[in-house]
């Protein structure tokens, strides 16, 4: 479940889909347009409440821990990959901690992009 539906976002997502397929995965797409992710979060919550959570979802940092505290994050299988690839040495602590659950001890998510909201650009 994701909200990368605009032109550039869809192109970026296609790179992830292609890489996943090359590694033998089957991508089941569930795009939810609108609201900068707000509509997707409403859809995600509705699916969880209905007992039909997606296998994977695009979620913003702190929300990952909130879902984990509610007991809806799947077992931390990605932690095995993160440990094998030594993510703690590759990611800054600020990024790594947003990807960890279980008291910030185990990876339960992978960073796909990093950005801030509310940017302000100015020219002279």
Is 0.95 surpassed by the pTM of this model?
no
pLDDT digits (tens, 9 = 90+) for 24-57: 999 999 999 987 899 999 999 999 999 999 989 9
The residue ranges of every structural domain in the chain are: 1-58, 59-112
pLDDT tens-digit series, residues 70-92 = 888 877 789 999 999 999 999 99
Closest CA to 33 of 2, 63, 12: 2
Name the percent of the chain in helix, strand, coil, to the closest 5.
Answer: 45, 5, 50
Distance between CA atoms of residues 31 and 10, nearest Å: 10
- Bridge partners, residue 101, by sequence: 106
Assign 61 a pLDDT band (cuts: 50, 70, 90). Answer: confident
């Amino acid at each position: 479940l994701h909200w990368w539906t605009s032109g550039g976002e869809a192109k970026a997502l296609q790179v992830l889909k292609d890489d996943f397929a090359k590694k033998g995965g089957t991508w089941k797409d569930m795009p939810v347009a609108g609201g900068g992710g707000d509509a997707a979060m409403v859809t995600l919550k509705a699916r969880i409440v209905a007992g039909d959570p997606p296998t994977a979802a695009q979620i913003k940092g702190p929300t990952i821990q909130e879902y984990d505290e509610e007991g809806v994050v799947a077992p931390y299988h990605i932690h095995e990959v993160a440990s094998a690839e030594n993510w703690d040495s590759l990611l800054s602590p600020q990024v790594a901690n947003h990807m960890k659950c279980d008291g910030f001890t185990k990876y339960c998510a992978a960073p796909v992009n990093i950005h801030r909201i509310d940017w302000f650009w100015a020219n002279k």
